[in-house]
Structure 1
Amino acid sequence: MAAPADATVTGRVVDEKGEGLPGVNVVIKGGSAGTQTDMEGKFTLSVPENSTLVFSFVGYSSQEVVVGTQTTLNVALAPDAKALSEVVVVGYGTQRRQDLTGAVARVDGAEIVNQPVQTPTQALQGKVAGVQIISDGTPNSQPKVRIRGTGTLLGGAEPLYVVDGVQTTDIRNLSNADIASIDVLKDASAAAIYGVRGANGVIIVTTKKGALGKPVLNYSGTVGFKQAANLVEMADAGQYTSYIKDISPNSVLPASTTSTDFYDAILKRGTFQNHNLAVSGATDNVRYYFSGNLLQDDGTVIENKFQRLTVRSNTSFSLSDKVTISSQASFSHAETRDVNIGTAYNNAYRAAPIVPAKQNGLYGNTSALGNVGNPVLDIEKNDNKSLENRLQGNIGIDIRPVDGLTLRSAINVDLNSDNRRVYDYQYFDDANTFLTVGGSQRRLFSTLGVTQVNGNRYLWENTATYQRTYNEKHNLTLLAGTVVEEGLRNQFSGSRNNVPANPDLWYLNTGDPTTAVNDAGAAKDRRLSLLGRVNYAYNNRYLLTTNLRYDGTSKFNRDERFGFFPSLGVGWVVSEENFLKDNSKLSFLKLRASYGQLGNDQIPPDSYILTTDANIPYVFGGQPGGPPPLPTQGSAITQIKDRNVRWETTTEYDAAIEFGFLDNRLTGEVTYYDKTTTDALIPVNIPAIFGDPENQYITNAADITNRGVEAALNWRQNIGGGDWSYNLGANVTFNKNRIANLNGGQALFGGYNGVTKSDNGVAAGSFFLLKSIGVYQSADEIAASPKSDFNPQVGDLKYEDTDGDGRITLLDRRFYGSYQPPVYYGINGGLNFRNVDFSFVFSGNLNNDVYNAKKQARTNVLNNVEASFANDRFRAGNPSNTTPSSLKEGMPNSTYFLESGSYLRLTNVVLGYTLPATILERARLTSVRVFAAAQNVFTVTNYTGFTPELAGGPLDSGIELNTYPTSRTVTMGLNITFK
């Protein structure tokens, strides 16, 4: 008699919320066959008649289901409080946290949505060890992110973002309310699957999907205000007048009855609001999530404003048990009214307080006195607006031809356009008074500038994933695939003078055609990659992960175009061993280690391509005494480039211990990493004798190391019969950054006045300064001191002769710290009592330095000074040995302007209340929560400037010159769910 044929069983595994669980083991009890659920929790498996299936997943209680004659099974797993319950996205798939061999951290969307910030990146601050977030208060600004230190000097230091499979470098278009989770891939082993794009780490954003059941309608919104969190007090009219009379007795100051605070004149309390409306749901065959978001941020500077509208659609359709089509798409439209903060903030710092900002419709003539413009005039007579549209999304098809095998093909697109229009009004007044339309700050003609930037990037990914469980002990996942990528950026700009002041006529063709200036440019790049991954776990104890990536890029020549980047990770779940399995105290213990390499090609596409300059006049022939010959138009190569520029390669070693105690109420992780970038892409100076107009070319000429330790500890507990619960967590990162083998010793200078120097043996962007050792107290002291190139006077700063040659020169500069913090940390916690919830996040740095360049940069002797300087300066009756008598033009870079960058900030605090279920039932509501939130509540720091958090590039971070003030945001919020 023939044996009964196997039956094909399909189904879906969901969690306690009805959402699909990916990566659940589905095994035939007593047999060797099995599979795992896909991203939506679905599975297909051939099983013998009357079999029993075992469903197991870390963090959930296992469940056995007798199949019988059923061909469709829907299973809901219940959480197991005694196990780790997290599944993370690792790129082209998911893994149980228990099975990870790389460094991956997760932040849940619920921790992001309540924060009154524009971008989800800001909401990560202080939450993840090894991740430094640096942001300012500028509306629509993109925070700087450094994962495990700065790993490059030129080749793109920012991480890769992956939003539902779409790879990008910017996620400012996302609504925080749409985010389900963020996973941060920190080490080379975890990020290796993204190859060339993942050298600086990867941040994977997963947006929300619909859950099985009735449609759910949700509204979440916040409304509040923003204001500058910290201001520098400037000298008032009395202090300023006394200061100027001391240092410049011959200066003529007008009689004044005003004392102007120019910061008060250009700052405001701005409105912040964020509204999100979403509907979601799912049936057996269709899953959907649609949302709309409106965000408005007026900033803290007058005339500044940002508004963004975002709509999102996430859908999936099961055409059969074997075919699923899915799509994710978002469209955002943003309008920005920018202000020239560089000019306005500079001028507000220096403008004389004895001049009014604005009076009776006229602007105070600060320029006639202090040689800086009126900052209010700077802002109000400049109209700088941009309109930005962005479409981001993908569409993919998943085919499951046999048990355990999933074939996926997806097209990802990222399209954006940015149209900017800048109109500078004409203004002038010949009257030489201190209250005029513009005074000597004048613009004799109007100017209109228009810039259009269009960019698009396409990714076509094809992957095959095979998942199988053998003998209930061997879990194997194989992945292979290809990635084809192409990006194109076009830019056009034009300007004309004498365009009419009527906004309806702000077009280039209304201006003077003889003043037209036009420019255009384009950049295109392509990449082709092969990828592969093997994940293997034996008996939930012994883990192996290997990634292989073969990348090709159009940014290098044919001989250097392709690079091979492997990684290997191993892990041992010690707590699954018999000698620890029944330990009542130890819940989880894992050791892991990894090695990996990643490439980086983030340089301009033409860095190796020599181009010719056309229409260059050449003169040939001619006879002595005869007429000069006419020039002939020709072409020439006027650039010097490295034709053999090649991959910048990052190699990283990682070792860690992860643990959980007391039913995982206490969990933690300690990781050591060693990350080295070799053949770093840097700009190299060209001797002027070669005549290259760029004076630099890009080549591989440096190594950069980041070595450090990350530690995270978290405690969670329910008390009082479940009425009370609380959590407390902390993370800290110790990182040491160093440069080696730099360009044969040719250092790189950067920042204001060349204040940073990146050289062998020091951190990138280190401050290179004269050492200030006091103030000259008398002419006799000057005469007895080493000769100085800086012509010191009594009351001037005194510098150390560090090289001992008997003179004070620029050769006496030495390295004094850098902005890169050797220690950065976060502290977070929460408390819940019945329907009340409270949470907070602290973040900070230790032992890094910042440079107060705004204090050094002087335009003339009549610039204003800070109130503290006016009070403490060296003068008759106050022989200070720390504060000079004046701040002069052309002061050299010195430690006098170097300050501590250490700080502790209460980054976020939230207090919420959820209405009781009895009230909601009467109103036919599922959930209602009201809350209050505040961002950047206070900062503890010794820095005397606006903020110690100073974003910049690898060579110029930590310099305060034109910084937009850090904003404090306070909001009220409401979250309502209908079901």
Structure 2
Amino acid sequence: MNKLRYLLLVVWLAVCGQAHAQTQPVTGVVTSKNDKQGLPGANVIVKGTTTGTSTDVNGSYTITAGEGAVLQFSMIGMLTQEIPVGNQTQINVELADDAQALEEVVVVGYGTQRKRDLTGAVAQLKGEEIIKYPVQTPTQALQSKLAGVQVIASGRPNEQPQIRVRGVGSALAGVSPLYVVDGVLTDDIRNISNNDILSIEVLKDASAAIYGVRAANGVVIVTTRRGKSGATQVQYDANFSMRQPANLVKMASRQQYIDYLTDAAPNQNVSNPPLTSDQTTDWYGQALRNAPQMNHNLSISGGGERNTFFFSAGYFSDFGVINTNDFRRLTIRANNEVKINDKLTFSNQLSFSRGNERAVNLDGTYQSLYRAAPIVPAKIGDLYGNLSAYGNVSNPILSLEARNQRILNNRLQGNLALSYKPVEWLTLRSAFNTDLVFNRDQTYLRGFQNDANTFITAGGNQRQQNSQLTVGDTKSLRYIIDNTATLDRSFGESNLTFLLGAVTEQFTTDFLQGSRINIPNDPNQWYLGLGDPNQQLANNSTGDLQTRQSFVTRLTYSLKNRYLFNASLRADGSSKFSERWGYFPTVGVGWVISDEDFMKDQSLFDFLKFRGSWGILGNDNIESNAYITTATVNIPYFYNNGLALGSAIQDIKDQQLKWERTQQIDAGLEFAFFNNRLSGEIDYYNKTTRDALAFRVIPAIFGDPDNQFLTNIASFRNRGFEFVLNWKETLKSGLGYSIGGNLTINRNELVGLNGGQALLAGGVGQQGFVTRSDNGQPVGSFYVLNATGVYQNQSEIDGSPVYGNRANVRPGDLKYQDVDGNGVIDNNDRIYAGSYQPKMYYGINLGLTFKGFDLTADVYGNVGNKIYNGKKAFRFENTDNIEAAYADARWLPNRPSQTDPRLITSATPASTYFVESGSFVRLNNLTLGYTIPNGLKEKARLRTARIYVTSQNLFTIQQFSGFSPELAGGALDSGIELNSYPTTRTFAVGLNVGF
């Protein structure tokens, strides 16, 4: 035993002696390549270990490293360098500015390109930027970051923000972009953890034509993280947030409401209201709350010479600011790559997500919070205030609490791929991509009566006679098979890449729904089989099948790395149209002017490139049976003195429907000045959508129940400019700062509604449609009467045309412009009063770094868009509540007003009085972080360690008097505030730790 111990001691000493012999101190200076000055605070790390240090105020460093080690030199805003140590004892390094990452590779669809070689307009956001934001969906992190990309976000849990790429180019065929996640084409990326994302690229111009019939609204490409060869790395990221409702509208107090009723509803008895004189019900306060939000993500990555792996698991929860709302999501991801041999590689990107949401139905309920009388208590004990006793709405708190909707979503998404390189310059790739979704939507309505067991005062008209359970199951499967061949060769000063491929896609969905009444109130017994079998309310079953077959080719060529050419052609066959095949070409050119010989002696431009592109893109986002004539079955009719069931064709279909085509022209200039500190881009684009789908009205004699049919009769145009400017610099003191901004100017116009009638949309209660899309106007323009002021006396009324019955018009009512001059105010006097589409939107991004601290701020805003205050206009009862600001400003005989009428009743027509400015500026994000110094990290055996505090939507400066000027909706009816989920303000603390 003693001999064994002695032998082990000798071996240990020998190993230690050998290790000591192989390590040595290395010194040097890290300087800036631009001004040759020392860089303080630069990181010097032995690659693959936790050993590291930072340079001092002069840029000097000392580190101990072995002969076989590799030193990694890095600093924010500079390009990282790696240098083998060998037998060197002094290593001096010059770091160059990261010139807008021109040498970086970006994903462009079925391949990648260097950013400097792009001929199209492609915007990119890195994953490290996305994880700074405490948001559920990665698309919300794009807000303020990318020119030409408008992101309309909502505070609602599990709601995907709307993205508009260079304006709205359709009315009925969808205006959202295509999402591509690791090759999987999809319309929804709510299943992805932000921490798993490597980068997001947005194809804004004709370069998106590589995706053909799906690309008219732009393409958002999401690339998830993969492992790298080397030591296994463990990363844990977490944040805890508190969200609160932001910018709530203050409603009238008890006394303000009673004073208003004196004018609006003089016959309403409010002599003995339920609340005492010093009480006012805050209905928003009763329904809303401060809501916690959590996000945890753990990842493990690494690999060897022939394989790499990345595994992650994430948990996200958001309780929602509405009391009965919550959402939880679990995500699991496994991305692996195995080199079977030198020519054959297998890879997979697979993810599973499970979402669990208690949803809220805002239609009517959230509007009731606005309209509810403040003199009625919301709830006392188990009893609810009876609003109907005062001619008012249903109690919204009861509506929320009596409804329990639970949505479960299980989703498997990913791909399996084989890549084969028979020779170095040829890659053959075959991939199977799938997106499988199982969704269950279960809604339980608790039964209650309009009696003393429910209401504080009985006799209300709000009731749910029987409990009811509705269950809907949806299954969908999308699979895509990609087979591509890519040739990549260099000939002297020429570089050539040629892609040829075939894409097969199929999407199937099945929906089954059932409903029963008299279900027990116990959640453990919410099954259809426990309901009343003799009163089955509804059974419903539908399904769909969509197929596409595509062929794609692309040629990329560069000469001397300065003359660039790109061309692609995609042929798409779709089951959605009788015209089976469509062809979508694109051509792009580029010229790196700064590499020319005549530019070598100039000192102004560090980089200058011109690029231009032209292409045709498609849009087939319509119902699968839009062109197929179908018969309605089980229609009763009389035959031979009896009742029989039969079938009949009840609608008219255009059997020659074809996809919408968008032609886009883009011209851009990229530049860098002052040793690459200042960089930017300028773009001009012009895209026109032809053969757009719209409804044409037809005479009722043709038998269509809607008196209209869908056909290709419209054209839309979006023209605009995009500006991007960024300054990034590190000072001698070690202070690094960056200032960036982007600005988009867009003009949207409907230019060819050929033979069709104007498109009406945006219903607001008794006011009817308030938007009209017609030639020469932006899509979804507000079309209303022009309110010119308020009648001050009877003589003004007698001397002017009025709306409606003159006998009902009184001083204090709104007066309107007689546009056609015929002495009558009616719908023919409506005018176009602006659109929800901004004329300009922008983002400003600021950053500071110093001695481990980092501070970032993002500002976002719109200019020139309009909002219709629909909640203020929606009044079916004169006893509805009013806003406190209106109560203080409305016309009274002793307090005349030129702007606000005495009353807003159910007879008040749609007018410019309800159209308000949608311009706003918002501090979108403010983050302060601190990275633990290398010495402490080394002691704690940590690779990275950062803590931070952040806020989202800290404040908004807006002119709109409502909740938020940021409103989602359809192409024809956006910008109307009726039932929007309240916007939220978020405060969060977070931690990023790597081992």
* TM > 0.5: yes
The CA deviation at 1:135 is 1.2
Q: Tell me whether 1:360 sits opposite 2:381 in the alignment.
A: yes
Number of the residue aligned with 1:195:
212
List gaps (5 residues or longer) in structure 2. 1-43, 49-77, 85-92
Instruction: Point out the more displaced range, 177-186 or 491-500.
Output: 491-500
Q: Tell me whether 1:768 sits opposite 2:783 in the alignment.
A: yes
Report if aligned partners of 2:470, 2:514 keep a CA contact under 8 Å in 1: yes
1 CA distance for matches of 2:664 and 2:731?
A: 42
1 CA distance for matches of 2:536 and 2:459?
A: 24
Number of the residue aligned with 1:697:
709
The CA deviation at 1:827 is 0.5
Number of the residue aligned with 1:248:
265
2 CA distance for matches of 1:734 and 1:17?
A: 48
Of 582, 594, 614, which residue of structure 2 is paired with 1:563?
582
Q: Tell me whether 1:463 sits opposite 2:480 in the alignment.
A: no
Report if aligned partners of 2:97, 2:677 keep a CA contact under 8 Å in 1: no
Report if aligned partners of 2:383, 2:453 keep a CA contact under 8 Å in 1: no
The code of the aligned residue for 2:191 comes to N
2 CA distance for matches of 1:343 and 1:448?
A: 20
The code of the aligned residue for 2:386 comes to N
* Cα deviation code 1:234-278 (max 9, x no counterpart): 001011111112333322013331211100110000011100000
Report if aligned partners of 2:263, 2:903 keep a CA contact under 8 Å in 1: no
* Cα deviation code 1:588-617 (max 9, x no counterpart): 000111100011111100011111122334
| Aligned pairs (5 A) from 1:267-286 | 267-286=288-307
Q: Secondary structure at the match of 1:341?
A: coil
Of 350, 354, 357, which residue of structure 2 is paired with 1:336?
357
The code of the aligned residue for 1:750 comes to A
The code of the aligned residue for 2:719 comes to R
Report if aligned partners of 2:713, 2:756 keep a CA contact under 8 Å in 1: no
1 CA distance for matches of 2:45 and 2:103?
A: 12
Report if aligned partners of 2:384, 2:454 keep a CA contact under 8 Å in 1: no
The code of the aligned residue for 1:549 comes to R
Number of the residue aligned with 1:751:
762
Of 95, 98, 104, which residue of structure 2 is paired with 1:86?
104
2 CA distance for matches of 1:271 and 1:705?
A: 43
2 CA distance for matches of 1:230 and 1:355?
A: 24
2 CA distance for matches of 1:89 and 1:175?
A: 20
Number of the residue aligned with 2:235:
218
2 CA distance for matches of 1:611 and 1:919?
A: 72
Number of the residue aligned with 2:663:
651
The CA deviation at 1:436 is 4.2
Of 692, 702, 708, which residue of structure 2 is paired with 1:680?
692
Q: Tell me whether 1:491 sits opposite 2:511 in the alignment.
A: yes
Number of the residue aligned with 1:129:
147
The code of the aligned residue for 1:500 comes to P
Q: Secondary structure at the match of 1:953?
A: coil
2 CA distance for matches of 1:539 and 1:882?
A: 66
Name the CA shift for 1:525/1:438 in 2 (closer, same or farther; >3 Å): farther
The CA deviation at 1:581 is 3.0
The code of the aligned residue for 1:526 comes to T
The CA deviation at 1:367 is 2.1
* Cα deviation code 1:757-792 (max 9, x no counterpart): 011110000000000011122222222111432542
Number of the residue aligned with 2:739:
728
The code of the aligned residue for 2:186 comes to T
CA RMSD of aligned residues (A): 2.1
Number of the residue aligned with 1:97:
115
| Aligned pairs (5 A) from 1:579-728 | 579-620=598-639, 629-721=641-733, 723-728=734-739
List gaps (5 residues or longer) in structure 1. 1-14, 20-58, 66-75, 622-628
* Cα deviation code 1:552-574 (max 9, x no counterpart): 100111xx110111110001000
Number of the residue aligned with 2:525:
505
| Aligned pairs (5 A) from 1:144-223 | 144-188=162-206, 190-223=207-240
Name the CA shift for 1:854/1:573 in 2 (closer, same or farther; >3 Å): same
Report if aligned partners of 2:448, 2:454 keep a CA contact under 8 Å in 1: no
Report if aligned partners of 2:779, 2:971 keep a CA contact under 8 Å in 1: yes
2 CA distance for matches of 1:606 and 1:84?
A: 46
Q: Percent identity?
A: 49
Of 784, 803, 806, which residue of structure 2 is paired with 1:788?
803
Q: Tell me whether 1:116 sits opposite 2:134 in the alignment.
A: yes
The code of the aligned residue for 1:170 comes to D
Number of the residue aligned with 1:901:
918
Number of the residue aligned with 2:751:
740
Q: Secondary structure at the match of 2:284?
A: helix
The CA deviation at 1:810 is 0.9
The CA deviation at 1:490 is 1.2
Of 807, 827, 831, which residue of structure 2 is paired with 1:814?
831
Name the CA shift for 1:77/1:444 in 2 (closer, same or farther; >3 Å): farther
Report if aligned partners of 2:176, 2:217 keep a CA contact under 8 Å in 1: yes
Report if aligned partners of 2:236, 2:994 keep a CA contact under 8 Å in 1: yes
1 CA distance for matches of 2:932 and 2:853?
A: 9
1 CA distance for matches of 2:162 and 2:705?
A: 31
Number of the residue aligned with 1:872:
889
2 CA distance for matches of 1:691 and 1:163?
A: 45
The code of the aligned residue for 2:738 comes to N
Number of the residue aligned with 2:540:
519
Of 496, 500, 510, which residue of structure 2 is paired with 1:476?
496
Q: Secondary structure at the match of 1:400?
A: strand
Q: Tell me whether 1:779 sits opposite 2:794 in the alignment.
A: yes
Report if aligned partners of 1:79, 1:85 keep a CA contact under 8 Å in 2: no
2 CA distance for matches of 1:18 and 1:286?
A: 19
1 CA distance for matches of 2:756 and 2:667?
A: 33
Q: Secondary structure at the match of 2:871?
A: helix
Name the CA shift for 1:266/1:633 in 2 (closer, same or farther; >3 Å): closer
2 CA distance for matches of 1:331 and 1:767?
A: 43
Name the CA shift for 1:112/1:151 in 2 (closer, same or farther; >3 Å): same
The CA deviation at 1:418 is 1.4
1 CA distance for matches of 2:795 and 2:527?
A: 65
Of 244, 252, 256, which residue of structure 2 is paired with 1:239?
256
2 CA distance for matches of 1:64 and 1:401?
A: 33
Report if aligned partners of 1:365, 1:433 keep a CA contact under 8 Å in 2: no
* Cα deviation code 1:82-115 (max 9, x no counterpart): 6733221101111111100000011111111020
Q: Secondary structure at the match of 1:888?
A: coil
Q: Tell me whether 1:142 sits opposite 2:160 in the alignment.
A: yes
The code of the aligned residue for 1:769 comes to V
Q: Secondary structure at the match of 1:720?
A: coil
Q: Secondary structure at the match of 2:244?
A: strand
Q: Tell me whether 1:264 sits opposite 2:285 in the alignment.
A: yes
